[in-house]
Every structure is written in C-alpha cells, then in structure tokens.
Amino acid sequence: MSKFQLILAIIFAAFAVLAVVIFSGLMPGTGDVGGKVVLWGTLRKADMGPLLEDFSRINKPVMVVYEEKNNDTYENDLLNALASGQGPDLFLLPDDLILTFSDKLVNISAQALPEKVFRDTFIQEADLYRMPEGVLALPLAVDPMVMYYNRDLFDEAGIVTPPKTWDEFPALVSKFTRKDSFGNLTRGAVAMGSYDNVSHAKDILAFMMLQGGNPIITRDSTGGLVVSIDSRQSSATQMNPFEQSLRFYADFANPAGSSYTWDKSRPLSQNAFMKGDLAVYIGYASELFTLRAKNPNLNYDITSLPELKDASRKIVFGRMQGVAVARTSKNTALAYRAATLLIGKDFAQKFSLRFSLPPARRDLLANKPAEPFYAAMFYDSALLARGWLDPGPKKTDAIFRSLVDDVVSGRSMPVQSISDAVTRLDVILKTYKKSTRP
C-alpha cells in the first residue's frame, strides 16, 4: 500500500461510523474538521452563491466557495486543472462524466458508505456512481426527462390527452403536421428522425434502449466494462429491440413514410416548440423556466415520458448531479466532510427548491410538494429515473449521430449501423476496462 493509499484508508476508517449515521439521515455531519474548500460546477453562481453562503453560516467552521464554469468547456477545464494540481477540492459530477473522471476521484469505500445504506438513501439511478472500487460521487439531485406538449394544438386537433405510449405517436402525425405550398414542413408532431436539430437526440435514443431492457454499457464477470447493445440481425419472427427503436425513430424523418413529420431542415426542436411549430417536445424538467422565459405566452403542459406498450416496468431517463472529492485536494478529510453535508437533508432540500429539481434522496422524495402542479410529477419521475455509463459524451455523441444519419440517409441498413456503433463504443471502453476492474 502506497503512502497516499494509507492516508486515505486512515481517513475513511475514521469517518466510517459517522458516514453511516449521516447517510441514514439521522443527523448532519459533525466533527472538528474545518476550513475552506472550493467547489466547481456549471450551475449559475447567482443561484449557488446564496445557497452556499447560507450553508457555510450553518455549518461553521466548514466553508464552501463556489466557482462557476462554462458548461461547454467544463470537462476539459476540469481535466487540465486536476492534471496540474490546481483544481478544486470538490466538483459537481454529472452522470455522463463518471467514467471520464473515475480515476481522478477519492473513492468512498464500502466501509465508509455501505452499499445497503447507499441504496436505501438514494434513488436507483444513483447506482451509476457506485463502482467496484467504491462510490465515486455523492448524489445530489436528478433532472428527469419529461414530455412538454402544446395545449392549444392538441385542443385544435381534438385530442383530449397527450400520448402515453410510443405506439400512439404515428397517429399524431396527420393531426399536427403542416407543409407549405412547396411541400416543406412548417409544423411537426414530434421532433425525431434527424439528429443535430433534435434537442437531446442521444438521450432520447438511449432512453428507448433502456426501456427495452438494454443498459447499453454493463460489466462482464471480471468487472470490466462491455457494450451490451444487441447488434444481431433481426429474425423473420422477431426484430432486434434496438433495431426496432432505431427504425421507429428514423421513420419520423422519412419523406416516403406515413410518420414523416420532421427533418434536418427544421430549426432546433426546442426553438420550434417555443414558436408553437411543434406539438410535442421531449426535454428535461430543468428546461421549464427556459421555455417560460423565452415565450411566456406559450400554452403548454407537462407529462411523463411515453412508455412501451405492454411494458413490464416503467422508467424515465434522467440526468444526475453528484458531489465528487478530487484526488488532488489538499485537504481530503475536509472535502469529504463538506461533501456529506452538501448531500445531507438540509442542503439537498434547499438545493431542490432553488433549482426546482427533485433531490436524489429517497427520504426527501417521500414528501412531494403540492404546488406548483408539475413538482409532484417531477418527484415521481425522479424515482423512475435511469441512466447509463457514458464513456465520453463528445465521443458517443459522434457515434449516435452517425448511427442516425446513416440510417436516415440510406447509407447503411440499421443492423449494420448498430454493429458499427458497437465497434466504436468498444474501442472507447478499452481505455476504461483496466482501471475499473475490482
């Protein structure tokens, strides 16, 4: 055991009993460790600042100073800062960067945070932060994907309720789709089929895969990461589930098909929805206030994501934020204590209220707000939220883009596109297999 590992072992042994109590929700973090730690994230400082000022006042002598970073450069900025030893003590770790930063974090051992305590405390999607070597980050909040729909367009079409299953979507196309005199689309039912102008296209496809029972990335018997996408050719009697989802998605951009309602010539789907030119928009709970601010006159409502017909279980897609302790922190014990306090009941609840996002803690989700009307639905969606271990957001974005574009353009058949995607994903995973084995 190296000197660094020995120090970490002593730290976590000292905090083992305390951690169980903290995560069980019986009491806030206590102890004599105090000082200042720096937290990085992409959330607005105008929102995080007041929360952390209140946090530091309540939890003296622990002080957390927040630094807001650009969302577009966050990954590279953080990697460079940690590599140079000038990074933060703590940082907000979204679930799609778990593998990217897995070797740059202080792992919380099973002795400090037993699996049973973790699973009883947090929602199921939080399991993404659990690795064979320990917990990589402490879950703070979840941003569930939801379905926004234009009430005026639905009323005009004589549709009383929004679709509850994917099977209902093709029938909506003729009700909402509009074209100009040249045959160009001017209004759509739902934004699917293309990629670059569909907000969260990769997440929508990933959600469809998860609904079909495919975790996308899983572990083999040795603990190594492997691609679990089925790329086999569909049989005459049964279609490969992912091929079926890919064909369903692509059909909405097929001019020769009955589901044609969207193509790459259309604006970004979020913008089209805000202008009233899209009946259904699949986005995140956190987008609610963006939509409201950009078009306060838009008459829309929110409901949960569509289900698979006759599905045995219901899930939704979610994005999580966790609090991670940087391996390069100059005060690991203080950073660890601050992290436990940040995901404690008091701060997690205040964070949830400030950002209108459901907390990741089960005990807080048990008390659903009565108002505003959408809050209870967000809380329900949080419990159903699932995600996947994305081995690199930018790299997988390129893979999913090719997957869709090749099928829609006719450059390759779905099964070939899926096989190519699996090969490319496996290449990325090879860089993680060694470091993530138990």
Helices vs strands, H then E, count in the chain = 16, 14
Average per-residue pLDDT in the chain?
Answer: 90
Chain mean position to CA 283: 11
Tokens of 310: 């006759």
CA distance 367 to 360: 13
Residue pair 11/107 in contact (Cβ under 8 Å)? The answer is: no
Q: Average pLDDT of 360-365?
A: 98
Tokens of 426: 């496996």
The DSSP annotation for 76-145 comes to HHHHHHHHHT-S-SEEEEEGGGTTTTTTSB--B-TTTS-HHHHHHHB-GGGGGGEETTEE-SEEEEEEEE
- CA distance readout (Å), 392 to 139, 228, 431: 20, 16, 11
Report the pLDDT value the prediction gives residue 213, as an integer from 0 to 100.
87
For residue 65, the cross-strand partners are 38
* 158-176 per-position pLDDT tens digit: 999 999 999 999 999 999 9
With 0-12 CB in 10 A as exposed, 13-18 as middle and 19+ as buried, what is 35? middle
Give the count of alpha carbons within 13 A of 225, CB side only.
26
232 CB neighbour count, 10 Å cutoff: 11
Instruction: Fold for 145-316, please state it.
Output: D-Maltodextrin-Binding Protein; domain 2 (3.40.190)
* Global pTM value: 0.91
Q: What CATH number has the domain spanning 3-143+318-386?
A: 3.40.190.10
For residue 75, what is the enclosing H or E element? Answer: helix 74-84
Return the residue matching tokens 């202080």. Answer: 106
Report the pLDDT value the prediction gives residue 25, as an integer from 0 to 100.
43
Report the pLDDT value the prediction gives residue 197, as an integer from 0 to 100.
98
Residues constituting the chain: 438
Residue pair 389/129 in contact (Cβ under 8 Å)? The answer is: no
Chain mean position to CA 97: 10
Return the residue matching tokens 């966050």. Answer: 74
End-to-end CA, the chain: 16
* pLDDT of 214 strictly over 80: yes
Confidence of residue 222 (pLDDT cuts 50, 70, 90): confident
Q: Average pLDDT of 208-217?
A: 92
The residues near 77 (Cβ < 8 Å, ≥ 6 apart) are 69, 70
Higher pLDDT, 433 or 345: 345
| CATH 3.40.190.10 intervals, the chain | 3-143+318-386, 145-316
Residue pair 88/326 in contact (Cβ under 8 Å)? The answer is: yes
With 0-12 CB in 10 A as exposed, 13-18 as middle and 19+ as buried, what is 263? middle
Higher pLDDT, 11 or 146: 146
